[in-house]
Amino acid sequence: MTRINQYDKRTGTTYVYESESYWDKEKQQPRSKRRLIGKLDEQTGEVIPTDGRGKKRVEKKNAPSGNTALCEDLKREIKEKDFLIHQLTAENKTLVKEQGALLKEIKGILLKYEEGNRA
C-alpha cells in the first residue's frame, strides 16, 4: 500500500489517499483501489483524518455532567409547572361553576325586584 497526495484546484485542498494495486484478471491489466485517509494540512504537513466523505472526523462524546444536571433540573421544573397547571385548571373550573350559580342568583333577585316594582 502506498500513500498518494492529490491536489484539488477548485478548493485548494490536498487529499491523502491510501492506494492498493492489484491485477484485474478480466481486463488483463493492473488496477488500484483508493481509500480517502484525510486532508493534508499545508502548514504542518500532517494528515487531518476524515470520515471518508471529506468531512473531519468527530468523536462522539457523552454529554458533560453539567448538561445532564441542567436537563434533570429542567425536567423537574417542567413536572412542577405541569402540576401547577393541573391545579389551576381544576380551580378555574370550580370558579366558573360558582360564577354561574351567582349569576343565576342575581337574575332571580333582579326578577323579584322587577316584579315588586310592577305591583
CB atoms within 10 A of CB 15: 19
What pTM value is reported for the model?
0.42
d(CA 115, CA 119): 6
Distances (CA, A) of 23 to 33, 34, 76: 11, 14, 65
In order along its 119 residues, the chain shows pLDDT tens digits of: 899 999 999 999 999 999 999 999 999 999 999 999 899 988 898 999 887 565 565 665 655 566 888 888 899 999 999 999 999 999 999 999 999 999 999 999 999 998 888 86
**Beta bridge partner(s), residue 19:** 2, 34
